[in-house]
Every structure is written in structure tokens, then in C-alpha cells.
Amino acid sequence: MERDMRYLPLSSDDRAAMLAKVGVKDVDALFADIPADKLLTAPVDLPRAKGELEVERILSRMAGRNVSASSVPFFVGAGAYKHHVPATVDHLIQRSEFLTSYTPYQPEIAQGTLQYLFEFQTQVAALTGMEVANASMYDGSTGAGEAVLMAHRITKRRKAVLSGGLHPHYAEVIRTLSHMASDEVVTAAPDVGATEDLAALIDNDTSCIVVQNPDVFGNIRDLRPLAAAAQAKGALLIAVFTEAVSLGLIESPGAMGADIVVGEGQSIGNSLNFGGPYVGLFAAKAKYLRQMPGRLCGETVDAEGKRGFVLTLSTREQHIRREKATSNICTNSGLCALAFTIHMTLLGEAGIKKLARLNHANAVKLADALVQVKDVEVLNASFFNEFTLKLSRNARDVVEAMAEKGVLGGVPVSRLLPDAGLDDLLIVANTEINTEEDRAAFVQVLHDVLGA
């Protein structure tokens, strides 16, 4: 039988028969929902075939063009943060029983996995101030999308309102999921100063308001008025965070009235790692438990009365009928959740609070120094460890010039919102890893670049 490619064993006739069965003309029809401008018009510009040694050399040269986050003063955040991860974390998660384990379907032989997931849920619930948490999501952005779908199921409404301070990547994921489900999304204009009136956007069709705290520009928000306004009209407040360490210092979303809390847990136990994998945190009020996506581990006793752990809820499509599932996410970020749990256990309540205070203090020191630099304005009235600068020049150009001088100075807002006309804004993060020398280098290099 004719074969088109060595590693794709289906023939042209096989593929034609499959397409006919599905009822589409060609393979391209399977990708009809992807916008045309997102499709490649030509193969990726890579050598078609190389030996293993040649591939290693090529990729090593490419990797050598990167500037390691640990090799220079580093002030990049905007959703992923550089924190110190104790060596204990990496040592423990590399134990074979953690690296090789998968879904704990048989609790009698998966007690270790189930216990750490139970501990993880307990920690997330305590951090967020919520009554119940699940066993993790893929990451914060997909968790936010799932939270909106959950709000739709609870309220029987199909409209979400997104804050202008929500991370644009999270907003884009929500819009993508909503588009495929024909749900309505209203996205507020970028809100640099946290002055938007989201309550005015709530109507009788609104299922949820999605707001981030601290927001993508670093502002700390009081969620209470918005929670009250949403709930008065039968809508839910979904509180989002991208910096988990902030929950050690600012008031928890649960204490401010949030109905669902979701965010990224990368900051605790998980290094930057070239963009992932990370771990989504998801928590809610107990009355919404059965509408939560993903898995939930519970504590019980066995036939002999001994403490044990089980998979209490797993309302995913691989376990029950597809139309009854709350989510089609078919796994959780187990190893990253374990890293989070180990780091949180090492820190304890006092440790996470101390770490959060140190982050804030470092950021305040940097902001105080930067306001002395000509043509630099700090826009935030309040912040945790991240804030936004207004510069006299295009922030993208400034960041590139700073990188050439050995300082990674932050994330230009134009990289996240290219069409918003905010080209002079720069988001800067300062965590516990930054020293006085790092901050002095940042201030001096920014001064030199702006004065050039």
C-alpha cells in the first residue's frame, strides 16, 4: 500500500475515507474556525532534516542568543515572576513516585498523590479566602476561561464583562472560548489607573464580572463595591490574580466577596522555565462546588476507620457523559501543584507573609528611586511588587536599549496591547530576588537610555 510519509502511516485513500466520514471536503475545512491571519501560509523556516548532533548545535546557538533571567538584573513580570525556589522543592518533585504517577484512579495505591492534592487544595482555599478549591487547572488563563463558563452554568446567563485591568492574555482566552460557544463578552477599555466603572456595565444578561487584583498594571483594587453591585443583579464576581505571592499581604478575594477566584500559582514553587508548564489555582464558594471544573480530592476513612483520601469529584468528560461534564480539561498540573505545595509547606503562614512584605518593600524602594529620574513617572497610587512607568520614549525601544546594557527592564504595555496607544508605558516587577545593586543598575541604565 502506498504511504505518503514514513511516520504518518495513513495513505491518501485512508485520509480521503476519513474526511468523507466526517463530512468535510479537505483537511483545511477542519481548521475553518481558526482566523485566516493566524494560519501559516508556508512551512516554518527551519531546516528540513538534520542529524542529532547538528540539531543540538543549531539549537544551542539559538539558545545562546537568550539572556538568562539569572544572569542580569531582572525586572520582568506581567503574569510570570522570578522568585527564589528552594532547592528542596526540585529535589522532592524529582522522586520517581511523583515523576511517574498519573491520575490517581485507584486510591488504595495512590494515597501519596491524593494527600498532596488534598493539601494543595487546602492551601489554595486558605490563600484565596474561599471555602473550596480544586486540584489545579492548566494555568491561570485557561482557569479564567473555565471560571466564566462556570458562571454561565450557575446564572443561566451567557454574558461576561471583563475589566480593562485584566491581563490581555487571560482576556483573549476568555474571548476565544466564548466565541466558540457563541457567548457574549464585553471588554472594558484598558484601565491604567484603576478608575473604571464596571458596575455600570452590569445588566440583567450579565453572568459575571471578571476583575484582576493586583491588576495587570499593578494597581491594588477594593473588590467589595463591585462584588455587591454584581451580586445585587444576580451576577457573579470572578477575581483573578497572576501573582500568587500577593495573597500573603493584600486582603484575600474571598474576604472581599468574590464568588469564584482563579489565578496563576507559578510564583510559588515553580521557576520561570521558558513559559511553563505552570499551575492554575481555582477556588469558589462551597455552594458552587458541583459546578467547578477539574478534580477535587477529599478526605475520608477506610473500612478500618483509618484516615484516607479519595477523588471526591471529577466531573470531566473522560469520566462522565460529555454533555454532563463541567469541563473538557482532562488533567491537572499535578507536578507543578506538588511544587507549589512543597514550597508553601516550607514557607508556612508566617513565611508567605514575610515573603510578601519583602516583595512589596523592594518594589517601593525601586519606585522611590525611579521617581527621581527625569522623564519617568510612576502611575500607581498603590501596588504590590509591580507597577507601571510612563516614559518619555517608546517603552519597547527603551527595554531593548536597556537589555543591550545588561538590564532586563520590564514588559512594554504595547507588547500586551499593541493597538491601545500605550506605547510609552512600561510594567516593572521587583521581587525578593532583586538586590540593592540590581535596583541601582536599573535606575542608572534607565537614566542613561532616556538621556541618550
pLDDT at position 331: 67
pLDDT at 297: 92
Work out the pLDDT band at 45, boundaries 50, 70, 90: confident
What average pLDDT does this structure show over 351-360?
98
pLDDT of residue 396: 98
**pLDDT tens, residue by residue, 236-286:** 999 999 999 999 999 999 999 999 999 999 999 999 988 889 999 999 999
3 pLDDT more than 80: no
Give start-end residues of each CATH 3.90.1150.10 domain in the chain.
349-451
Q: What is the pLDDT of residues 187-226, one digit of tens each?
A: 999 999 999 999 999 999 999 999 999 999 999 999 999 9
Band the pLDDT of 5: cuts 50, 70, 90. Answer: low
Q: Which CATH class is domain 349-451?
A: alpha beta
**CATH 3.40.640.10 residue spans of the chain:** 87-344
Q: What is the pLDDT of residue 275?
A: 81
Quick check: 168 pLDDT over 90?
yes
Helix, coil or strand: residue 415: helix
Of 186, 285, 195, 197, nearest in space to 236 by CA: 285
What pLDDT does 10 receive?
Answer: 82
The residue among 185, 198, 191 whose CA lies nearest residue 228 is 198
Euclidean distance between CA atoms 333 and 151, whole angstroms: 23
For the stretch 308-354, pLDDT in tens is 998 888 755 556 666 777 777 766 688 999 999 999 999 999 999 99
pLDDT at 4 over 60: no
User: Quick one: pLDDT at residue 188?
Assistant: 97
The whole-number average pLDDT for the span 67-78 is 92
Length of the chain: 452
Domain 87-344 -> CATH class:
alpha beta
Number of DSSP helices (H) and strands (E) in the chain, helices first? 12, 13
Ranges 49-63, 80-94, 430-444: which has the least confidence = 49-63
pLDDT at 8 over 80: no
Residues whose CB is less than 8 angstroms from the CB of residue 90 and which lie 6 or more positions away in sequence, other chains included: 339
Instruction: Identify the residue whose cell numbers are 475545512.
Output: 29
Q: Is the pLDDT of residue 292 over 70?
A: yes
Tell me what pLDDT residue 395 has.
Answer: 98
* Inter-residue contact 241 to 263 (CB < 8 Å): yes
pTM reported for the whole predicted model: 0.91
**Residue 1: pLDDT band by 50, 70, 90 thresholds?**
very low
Q: What percent of the chain has pLDDT over 90?
A: 76
Determine the residue type at 59. Answer: L
Rounded-to-integer distance, Cα 183 and Cα 158, Å: 5
